[in-house]
Amino acid sequence: MKSLLAVWLALIMVSGCFTQAVRAEEQEAPYEVPAAEPPSPELMLVDVFIVRPVGLAACAVGLLGSIVAMPFASLSGNDREVSRRLIAEPFAYTFTRPVGHFERK
């Protein structure tokens, strides 16, 4: 009986992560590329070898944190904010930002 309850609780927690739709306006890229000043090669290397791997780790930690937080966030009504802050922002910072550019809009 306890194992059945644990399976149901796990399914409910995981399904909460997949049932939340992210609005299209939250999907816009928060980074812009300045046309006048390209990044230096050193800054690009730091971005590729240090900042991007840290961003990838932040994506993994944010996903795990959102799985834990989503049942509580759903009950309180701020599940979109949790999804945006823990999943969408680290993903955008890691994968949609141009290499060497750290400026936000």
Residue-level pLDDT at 22: 45
Question: How much is the pTM?
Answer: 0.63
- Domain membership flag for residue 104: no
- Domain membership flag for residue 54: yes
Residue 16 vs residue 58, higher pLDDT: 58
DSSP state of 27: G
> Please, which residues have CB within 8 angstroms of residue 17's CB and are 6 or more apart in sequence?
66, 67, 70
Helix, strand or coil for residue 78? Answer: coil
- Domain membership flag for residue 101: no
- Domain membership flag for residue 80: yes
Residue 104 vs residue 49, higher pLDDT: 49
Determine the structural domain holding residue 24 and report its residue range.
2-96
Residue at token pair 């000043």:
37
pLDDT digits (tens, 9 = 90+) for 9-41: 665 665 555 544 444 445 555 666 556 688 999
By mean pLDDT, which of 29-43, 49-63, 66-80 is the weakest? 29-43
- Domain membership flag for residue 103: no
- Domain membership flag for residue 105: no
Domain count, the chain: 1
Contact 77, 20 (CB under 8 A): no
Residue-level pLDDT at 41: 93
- Domain membership flag for residue 59: yes
